[in-house]
Amino acid sequence: MRGYSDRVNHALAFAAKHHDRQVRQGTAAPYATHPANVALILTRYDQSEDVVVAGILHDVVADSVRDGLTHEDLVERIGRKWGSTVLDDVLAVTRRRTDDDGVELGKDEQHDDLLGRLAQASGGARWVCAADAVHGAGSLLADVRRTIEPATVWGRVSGGRDAAVARYRATLDRLQAVGFDAPIVEELAELVDALAGAPV
């Protein structure tokens, strides 16, 4: 995707609105910087506009119900504004709080559930999953490298370094297991290895 797009700009504004009260875990950075960075990563790999838009919106349904909107309202609004392809990709990588039987899922179970659904996900959704992981792992690694107290960074991550590495490695392994072999997988693998060797 090249150049300015009104659809992308609209998606960025929509994500910023729905993440406006959120910050990145353990930081003061607005959460909206994350979907914007996911979009940049997808653009760097020359993904389609639909995939970039799905990357921008990928956390809206899971993380944001505001202004009286329900989960269903958000899903309907995304589908109406950006189409079924974007909506399908967003839902494929949305963390679900309950399983198909309505049983509440813990954080690790939510991650496992998402990874399990990648087998049926489109290539676009897999790109979004990979870009999300690349930004998350890359941001964490950058924070560790620029501090003199790495323990303060790991302390804001559930389970610390080993758990973070395990989650990113599980994402990498799952993407490879479902046959996703795009170049971004190599970038994610390098980041996972770097995190595993990062100081604690």
Closest to 137 in 3D by CA, of 94, 60, 193? 193
Q: In the predicted model, what is the mean pLDDT of residues 160-168?
A: 96
pTM: 0.92
Q: In the predicted model, what is the mean pLDDT of residues 78-99?
A: 93
pLDDT tens for each residue of 120-144? 999 999 999 999 999 999 999 999 9
Between 61 and 107, whose confidence is greater? 107
Whether the Cβ atoms of residue 60 and residue 74 lie closer than 8 Å to each other = yes
For the chain, list the domains and their CATH numbers: 6-196 (1.10.3210.10)
